[in-house]
Amino acid sequence: MSSREPLQNQLKTFRQARGWSQDELARRAGVSRTEVSAIEIRRLVPSVATALALAAALECRVDDVFALAKAESPTEEWAWTPSQDPCRFWRAEIGGRHILYPAESGSVGVVAHDGILVRGKIQPQSTNNVGETLVIASCDPAVGLLVRELAATSPVRLLVLKRSSSEALRLLAAGLVHLAGVHLASTEQSGGNGAIIRERLGTGYRLLKMARWEEGLAVAPGSGITSVKGAVDSRSSKQQWVGREVGSGARQCLDEILDGRPAPKKLARDHAGVAEAIRCGWADVGVCLRLSAEEAGLEFLSVRHETYDICYRAEFEPDPRFQALLTVTRSPSFRKLLGELPGYEVAHTGELESI
């Protein structure tokens, strides 16, 4: 063992992502707990044999865990140009790039920023590790459960960008997010989301199964609408509809319902936005998930069941951030919470599919 060479390692992050103690990792790798501890706090550089044993125990490559320290830090780049200055921002590492994201509101409330852009100059204000941050683009209203479970069981921070399925896939293909939430296929559609992703992005991706959920019409109480057909027929009356943007799963469902009729001009940003528009009286009917409709106290008319999956690049799978996510999604506590939500089924949650 040598302690002279500069070495960066993510041993602790990989270990915690699997929920192991130092004793457990030491036992699996055939080394001492003292060695594991010393390596994690960077007081000791492992020998080649020890590094190989640790990587084998963690089921990853040696260079996933250990790397020579670099003299220069990666250049930071904006995911997209900030719309204002000053601007709060988050940062994350994706494929060796350090990406800055203008902070935005989301379903998990206000998330602490990592810095502020002031007069064109970046002012870091936190010590958050970019290598322990995950970024997901998703419209799932229940994504906050995932955020909280990850934070409670690992050092991983999950940042959520509210985006439609198509926009989420675009960001994933551009290397601007780690994960893309997708619900573009009904449960009856051959090949499911995987077939759609293969057509749009090609191969080299994987799907993490999350839920089978129910999508349909949210209707204002007392509207007199009691069926999907009745809702469509009422479009010629004074009923006001709210829609979603082209490329979203909800828009696909809406187009299916309208069957060639013009889509509404009023658009909401996500499922919760559709429900809120109806709850506040700005609209009478619109497409969203059963969860969003019931939480807003609205009536719900089921249209179809969809599969909701999380898409990611296959090469990202050994990363400890993904392993922490996988551990959470497969945990009984998370599956129980998710399965208790209105319209969510979790029989296949945590399963993986190659594309």
pTM value?
0.79
Q: How far apart are CA 283 and CA 277, in angstroms?
A: 6
Q: pLDDT per residue over 236-257, tens digit each?
A: 567 889 999 998 999 999 998 9
Q: What are phi and psi of 135, to 5 degrees?
A: -125, 125
Give the per-residue pLDDT at 4.
44
Coil/strand/helix, residue 284: coil
Helix axes 320-329, 332-339, angle to 10 degrees: 60
Tracing tokens 């889509």 back to the chain, one arrives at 263
Residue 268 in 3-state DSSP? coil
> What topology is assigned to 7-68 in CATH?
434 Repressor (Amino-terminal Domain) (1.10.260)
Spans of all domains in the chain: 7-68
Whole-angstrom distance, CA of residue 268 vs CA of residue 287: 10
| The pairing of beta strand 133-138 with beta strand 179-182 | parallel
pLDDT of residue 47: 87
Q: Tell me, what's the pLDDT at 37?
A: 87
pLDDT averaged over 10-residue windows placed end to end, the chain, 355 residues: 58 84 92 88 84 89 77 76 92 93 81 90 82 94 95 94 95 97 85 93 96 95 86 73 92 89 89 95 94 96 95 94 95 96 97 95
Tokens at 336, concatenated: 């129980």
DSSP 236: G
Q: Is 166:252 a contact under the CB 8 Å cutoff?
A: no
Residues β-bridged to residue 285 = 219, 241
Question: How many CB atoms neighbour CB 313 within 10 A?
Answer: 20
pLDDT, position 236: 56
Judging by DSSP bridges, how do beta strands 121-124 and 115-118 pair with one another?
antiparallel
